[in-house]
Chain A
Amino acid sequence: MGTPSAPDVVVNTTGLTKRFGSTVALSDVDLEVRRGEVFGWLGPNGAGKTTTLRLLMGFARPTAGAIRVHGRDPWRQPAAVHREVGWLPGDPAFHDRLTGRAHVRMAARLRRSPDDDKTADAVTERLGLDLDRPVGTLSRGNRQKLAVVLALLGGPQLLVLDEPTSGFDPLVQQEFQALVREHAAAGGTVLLSSHVLGEVQRTADRIGVLRAGRLVAVEEMSVLRGRSLHRVQARFDAPVRAADFAGVPGLRDVQVTASTLRCAAPAAALDALVGRLARHRLTDLECTEADLEETFLAYYGGEPGGR
């Protein structure tokens, strides 16, 4: 338990709850996000990810519990909180007639940092965006790039990114991930939400998993990788029974049909499993590592594909 004022705690929530009428959007969430880390905020659509970020920005008021950003209450002191926060909305909207550069100037002036065109130009160049075109003529991906540029203006300590990579092609996605990693490496903090693990697995140090408004898991990415599942398929020369493989710890989705076994096993269970397999005469054996998304869904459920 860190104290809320610990210097390396950037975002801190205790019992954070938000209800809209009788709908519970967020229920009793305790969370700590620290300096220098990239935190993936995961869950199916409607799980409460955006609600959390709105509370964090002070756009909405918690029904119960507390949220602190750099030790401050964003509902009471939004201006002070925003000075250190760059925000990327889930559905960025702009003034269509104005150019990207006009947006950058306006945002920089509101931040009282008029020199920021350099930051903007650097980021713009890396992502490949033309700042001099009216925003109304930009594609969805390019609007998203502009939203990234605006979020990075003024060098905020904390980046709050709501589904940031939707609309990016793979190359831009890589560049964006590099930006995120660099931000964290320089002591910054990144909180990014997504409904698919694949979008954050390369960048995140930790993930929090939200389902129906409840925080169901907080996990180090390295731990999750260690738990990565293997798909095992074995064929024998004689019929086998499911009971033959019962009791292997961590074994999932066991399917036995006549003389074949299909199952999913974490790396830690492979040795025990192979021991059981060896009691029979094998005719064929396949073992492939499942991707992280599959592992993630196996442990935390959720709707594959999200949308």
Chain B
Amino acid sequence: MAAEVLRQTVTLRWRGTVTWAVGLAALVLLYGALWPSIRDQPSLTDLLDAMPEVLRSLLATTDLSTPVGYVQAEVLGLTGPLLVVLYAIVSGSASIAGEEGRHRLGLLLAAPVGRARVVLEQSGAVVLGSLVVAASLTLALLTSSVLFGLDLAVGHVVAAGLHLGLLGAVFGVLAVGVGAATGSRVLARAVPAVLAVLAYLLNGLAPLVGWLEPLRPLSPFWQSLGHQPLLTGVSVRGVVVCVAAVAVLAATAVPAFGRRDVMA
């Protein structure tokens, strides 16, 4: 059956993905529910003003008094991307490295399925999972928007969700690839996690640190969220860059896995 590895991987991960999706949605709804009380507290914007510039730059927000500024600071500035990326890395590291560590990789590799298919379809499953988790966040934001009067533009929220999903996909597929190349679950988590932190800091600090500015496009965070999707919608370039990154990472993982002895 076509894409059988992907289908099985998605089925096996379903429980975990749903747990993440529900948790993330609940968190977003909680932030949404706080909005009506925050809105009437101008002192919070003063608080933001009193924050170090570095922090404001990292959260990419200046204004807690508007719904967009609030959601940017509370959801898209750190929490949302952090959790989607974390989910994707956990899921990606569980793919080849995780199964190999549990001596279960043979369930797939002893079947008449080439290694390339295993890498590509497991990557596909991680991308799907990341998009599902991001979609759940999107739905929660839209729900909050209606319930708590955030009045966000539907198209822009969907755009933000898409970018978050793709952002997760980049680091998730990187985790699959590091696991495929090394067989180590620790590396499959640590390498993408460290790179994600660096990329986040690069994006957030570039406005303050002159020499970082030219490097900023290298950060998937900038490609995904730098254009403020809640204000401007989809960035075609951001989508293309992230999709291309996912494709290149998956394509690199195939020969890396093909060259190596595996403990099936």
Chain A interface residues (CB < 8 Å from chain B):
54, 57, 59-61, 78-80, 82-83, 85, 87, 89, 91, 93-95, 98, 103, 106-107, 109-112, 150
Contacts and interface: CB of A to CB of B under 8 A. Distances in A.
Nearest to A59: B264
Interface in B221-264: 261-264
Contact of B111 (A80, A98, A111): A111
B103 A83 contact: no
B41 interface: no
Nearest to A154: B112
Interface string B1-21: 100110010001000000000
A110 B106 contact: no
A108 to B, nearest CB: 10
Interface in B143-191: none
A103 B107 contact: yes
A60 B103 contact: no
A162 B64 CA distance: 64
A54 B106 CA distance: 10
Contacts of B262: 59-60
B118 to A, nearest CB: 10
A241 B1 CA distance: 76
A110 B113 contact: yes
Nearest to A98: B12
B108 A110 contact: yes
Contacts of A80: 112
Nearest to B109: A59
A60 B263 CA distance: 8
A89 B103 CA distance: 9
A82 B107 CA distance: 12
B98 to A, nearest CB: 12
B112 A82 contact: yes
A79 B114 contact: yes
Nearest 9 pairs between A and B by C-beta? A110-B111, A60-B261, A93-B103, A87-B110, A83-B112, A82-B112, A59-B264, A79-B114, A79-B112
B110 A82 contact: yes
Interface residues of B, number: 22
Interface in B88-110: 102-104, 106-110
B261 A110 contact: no
Contacts of A79: 112-114
Contacts of B109: 57, 59, 78
Contacts of A83: 112
A91 B261 contact: no
B17 to A, nearest CB: 15
B264 A106 contact: no
A31 to B, nearest CB: 20
Secondary structure class of chain B's binding surface, majority of residues: loop
B56 interface: no
Nearest to B8: A106
A61 B111 contact: no
Nearest to B11: A106
A150 B12 CA distance: 18
Given A60-B262, A78-B115, A93 B110 contact: no
A94 B111 contact: no
Contact of B1 (A57, A78, A91, A109): A109
20 contacts: A57-B109, A59-B263, A61-B261, A78-B114, A79-B112, A79-B113, A82-B110, A82-B112, A83-B112, A87-B110, A89-B110, A89-B264, A93-B104, A95-B12, A95-B104, A103-B107, A110-B5, A110-B111, A110-B112, A111-B112
Contacts of A85: 110
B104 A94 contact: yes
Residue in A59, A94, A98, A103 with the greatest tally of chain B CB atoms within 10 Å? A59
Contact of B4 (A78, A82, A94, A110): A110
Nearest to A18: B261
A217 B55 CA distance: 72
Contact of B264 (A57, A107, A110): A57
A107 B107 contact: yes
Contacts of B104: 93-95
B110 A91 contact: no
A57 B104 CA distance: 15
A89 B104 CA distance: 10
Contacts of A98: 12
A172 to B, nearest CB: 22
Given A61-B261, A94-B107, 18 more contacts: A57-B109, A57-B264, A59-B261, A80-B112, A82-B113, A83-B112, A85-B110, A89-B110, A89-B264, A93-B103, A103-B107, A106-B107, A107-B111, A109-B8, A110-B5, A110-B8, A112-B1, A150-B107
